[in-house]
């Protein structure tokens, strides 16, 4: 029985595509029950439809508050009874009640070496700070933005001529490796969150998670 997940997106969905590809190739024993976007024109919805995955669009602008949007989102997700919720470029901050409901069973991929550069515009901020190394983190989602337990990180060099776009491309290639890896660990029951710490194979991970490279 493959492992049921729901993926939330707002954009291109290349991380979604990596999960689809690995599940089709048999590397990842998951079933993507649904893909939900808050943006009607997210290309990830096309990717999902092409793969025969049910899609939903929930427009956050049609709700009077964040809580009302989150309540509708929760209902939409839970009708698919996923064991894991995967944020893959989902761009709406989630309310505390929502994150509590999915505590320990919701992951996010964030394009920085957390705890550095929480929030938006991470590639430009790393370049502007003169950093030589940048990267990406997969973490459990908690109420505090980008502050949940880190599971795995991958690093890349910031070269002399680097732009935010060129850096984003390098980071994306790493994302498509480490996100399916973290989902695989979770689906195999090897990964848990206990007291806001990530545990892999019964061993607590470092604050910065498992170092992929
Ligand atoms: N929600 C909670 N409670 N905790 C986290 O760790 C979350 C979260 C929601 C999304 C992804 C995140 C990221 O990886 C994520 C993690 C959106 C914003 C943001 O400022 C910040 C971080 C993340 C996602 N969003 C604006 C908002 O008002 C809207 C921006 C837009 O629509 O372009 O929600 O970086
Ligand atoms: C990814 O780079 C992901 O790390 C980032 O958005 C991109 C989504 O790409 N996430 C955030 O910035 C969350 N705030 P994708 O739609 O092609 O998977």
What is the reported pLDDT for 194?
Answer: 96
What's the total number of domains in the chain? 1
Candidate from 15, 124, 176 with most ligand 2 atoms within 8 A of CB, to mutate: 15
The pTM assigned to this predicted structure is 0.98
| Nearest partner of 95 among 143, 30, 153, 138, judged by Cα | 143
Question: Ligand 1 atom 32: the closest Cα is on which residue?
Answer: 91
The phi-psi region of residue 121 (left if phi > 0; otherwise alpha if psi is between -120 and 50; otherwise beta) is: left
**CATH code of 134's domain:** 3.40.50.170
According to the model, what pLDDT value does residue 6 have? 99
pLDDT values of the chain reduced to their tens digit, one per residue, 213 residues? 799 999 999 999 999 999 999 999 999 999 999 999 999 999 999 999 999 999 999 999 999 999 999 999 999 999 999 999 999 999 999 999 999 999 999 999 999 999 999 999 999 999 999 999 999 999 999 999 999 999 999 999 999 999 999 999 999 999 999 999 999 999 999 999 999 999 999 999 999 999 999
Which position among 110, 123, 134, 139 bears the catalytic label?
110
**170 CB less than 6 Å from ligand 1?**
no
State residue 190's pLDDT score.
98
Residue 47's domain comprises 3-211
Ligand 2 centre distance from Cα of residue 10 (Å) = 9
Q: What b/e sequence results for 12-44 when a residue is b if at least 16 CB atoms lie within 10 Å of its CB, and e otherwise?
A: bbbbbbbbbebbeeeebebebbbbbbbbeebbb
At residue 201, the pLDDT reads: 98
Can you say how many angstroms the Cα of residue 154 is from the centroid of all Cα atoms in its chain? 14
For residue 90, the CA-to-ligand 1 centroid distance in Å is 7
Q: What's the confidence (pLDDT) of residue 1?
A: 72
Instruction: Tell me whether residue 110 is one of the annotated catalytic residues.
Output: yes
Tell me the C-alpha distance between 112 and 141, whole Å: 15
Q: How far is the CA of 186 from the centre of ligand 2 (A)?
A: 20
Question: Which residue's C-alpha comes closest to atom 8 of ligand 2?
Answer: 89
């Amino acid at each position: 029985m493959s492992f049921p997940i729901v993926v939330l997106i707002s954009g291109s969905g290349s991380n979604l595509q990596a999960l689809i590809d690995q599940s089709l190739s048999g590397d990842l024993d998951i079933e993507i029950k649904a893909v939900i976007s808050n943006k009607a024109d997210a290309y990830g919805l096309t990717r999902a439809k092409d793969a025969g995955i049910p899609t939903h669009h929930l427009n956050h602008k049609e709700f009077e508050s964040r809580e009302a949007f989150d309540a509708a989102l929760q209902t939409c997700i839970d009708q698919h009874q996923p064991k894991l919720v995967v944020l893959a470029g989902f761009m709406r901050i989630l309310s505390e009640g929502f994150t509590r409901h999915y505590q320990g069973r919701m992951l996010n991929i964030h394009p920085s070496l957390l705890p550095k550069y929480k929030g938006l515009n991470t590639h430009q901020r790393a370049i502007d700070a003169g950093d030589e190394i940048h990267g990406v983190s997969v973490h459990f989602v908690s109420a505090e933005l980008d502050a949940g337990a880190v599971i795995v990180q991958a690093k890349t060099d910031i070269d002399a001529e680097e732009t935010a776009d060129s850096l984003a491309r390098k980071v994306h290639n790493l994302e498509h490796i480490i996100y399916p890896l973290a989902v695989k660990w979770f689906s195999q029951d090897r990964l848990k969150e206990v007291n806001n710490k990530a545990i892999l194979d019964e061993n607590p991970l470092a604050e910065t998670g498992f170092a992929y490279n």
